[in-house]
Amino acid sequence: MKILAIESSCDETAAAVVEDGRTILSSVIASQVEEHKLYGGVVPEIASRRHCEAINGVVRQALSDAGLTFEGIDALAVTYAPGLIGALLVGVNFAKGLSMATGLPLIPVHHLRSHIASNYLAHPALKPPFLCLVVSGGHSHIVEVRDYTEMKIIGKTRDDAAGEAFDKAARTMGMPYPGGIHLDQAAESGDPLAFRLPHPKVEGAPYDFSFSGLKTAVINLIHNASQKGESLPVADLSASFRKAVVDSLTDNFLRAAEELGYHTLVLAGGVSANSLLRRTMDDACRQKGWQCYYPPLSLCGDNGAMVGAQAYYEYLAGKRADTSLNARATMSIE
Ligand code: KG4
Ligand code: ZN
């Protein structure tokens, strides 16, 4: 079954053709990041406008790269929640129009479920049940993936998402948006023990996260130093911050796996590109004899292929949208 999938939840206009949830026939991504960089973050109004301009060309390119026309497509899929409402609406309305014009069924896909599904494209052996750490710019969840379309959140952030914390700390250190990747690169040559930063725990909720105190600690360190006319070693500060975030993520994730009896652990979302997070999980799972999966770097960020992958399983579970489909800025993964 070949699905043409569309993604426009944030600052990437993307489309892909995916076969049976597992094989990428084409994947096209038009990124707006260079424009948002000028403002230090995504400007929602600009994002919506750029999606409108790009979406037709991106979808046509995805079809032609797959060597197909609409006759060769069995269903359409689109990200409908959560994300920037104006950005989501561009994809949703485009997909509804295509569905009406072609008569193809339309499958609505949750953005975080599709991040998890990016792993199915890279790891043919991976099947639920497993425990997944979903870490993106807007969310940090520990999710029990009981089946392809049956999920339960067992831990989440009480304040900032991990990606948001990375981006804000990086911005304070003068790195361009989105800063997570720059901070990760700077950290590779730094000493993670150079700065003592808080390793936050949430009282009474061992699987929940809190990153705002950690972020504020770094911002205060930088501001205090600059008031004294000093500058801090960026590599050491990046390494110390990265370690604090990754320790918090992996401590809770591994503890949850131990206590709930999961031995297949999966990373998903933009922050799953973090090199220390990947190394730490690899090492921990090797020692325990557990399986650890994460997407290739090309599938960690937002893309259309992951939408096509999850859409296949949503289709098998009977999920369809009609012309009343609307976008939603927030929606639980459950
Ligand atoms: O999943 P994603 O592409 O978009 C959302 O759905 O939010 O995640 C983007 C987030 C950004 O905060 C970005 O800085 C972060 O993922 N990110 C990283 C790395 N690469 C991307 N954070 C830490 N280390 C990285 N290597
Ligand atoms: Zn995302």
Give the domain CATH number at 30: 3.30.420.40
Q: Which two tokens stand for residue 99?
A: 């569905």
Q: Which residues of 303-331 are buried (b: 16+ CB within 10 A; e: fewer)?
A: bbbbbbbbbbbbbeeebebeeebebeeee
Q: Whose CA is nearest to atom 7 of ligand 1?
A: 137
Say whether both 137 and 247 belong to one domain. Answer: yes
Say if residue 141 is in the same domain as residue 249. yes
Asked if residue 287 and residue 143 are part of one domain, the reply reads: yes
- 271 alpha carbon to ligand 1 midpoint, in Å? 4
- The answer to whether 267 and 278 are in contact (CB under 8 A) is yes
Residues 6+ apart with CB under 8 A from 283: none
* CA of 137, nearest ligand number: 1
In the block, residue with structure tokens 């922050």: 271
Dihedral angle computed from the Cα positions of residues 89, 91, 96 and 99, in that order, rounded to the nearest 10 degrees: 180
303 with 293, same domain? no
The predicted pLDDT at position 231 comes to: 87
Report yes or no on 326 lying in a domain.
no
- Asked whether residue 327 is domain-assigned, the answer is no
Position 123 in a domain: no
Is the same domain home to 10 and 99?
Answer: yes
Distance from the alpha carbon of residue 106 to the mean position of ligand 1, in angstroms: 28
Single pTM value for the model: 0.97
Residues 178 and 304 in one domain: no
Residues with C-beta less than 6 Å from any ligand 1 atom: 10, 115, 136-138, 163, 166-167, 178-181, 184, 269-271, 273-274, 301-302
Pairing state between β 2-7 and 264-268: unpaired
**Is residue 334 situated within a structural domain?**
no
Q: Whose CA is nearest to atom 1 of ligand 1?
A: 270
146: domain range? 128-297
- End-to-end distance of the chain based on CA atoms, in angstroms? 25
- Distance (angstroms) between ligand 1 centre and the Cα of 301 equals 7
- Are residue 150 and residue 238 in the same domain, yes or no? yes
Task: Judge contact between 61 and 28, C-beta under 8 A.
Answer: yes
CA 97/CA 17 separation, integer angstroms = 18
Question: What sign for the dihedral angle of Cα 13, 17, 20, 24?
Answer: negative
248/307 same-domain check: no
Separation of 84 CA from ligand 2 center, angstroms?
11
183 domain residue, yes or no = yes
Atom of ligand 1 nearest to the CA of 138: 7
- Given a cut of 70, the residues of the chain with pLDDT beneath it are none
In this structure, which residue's CA is closest to atom 20 in ligand 1? 181
Is the CB of residue 300 less than 8 Å from the CB of residue 272?
yes
Q: Are 271 and 310 contained in the same domain?
A: no
Domain assignment of residue 323, yes or no: no
In a domain, 108, yes or no: yes
The closest of 133, 134, 66, 126 to 308, measured between CA atoms, is 66
Q: How many domains does the chain have?
A: 2
- Residue 25 in contact with residue 17, Cβ under 8 Å? yes
Whether residues 221 and 247 share a domain: the answer is yes
Residue 311 resides in a domain:
yes
Whether residues 62 and 207 share a domain: the answer is no
Are 282 and 157 contained in the same domain? yes
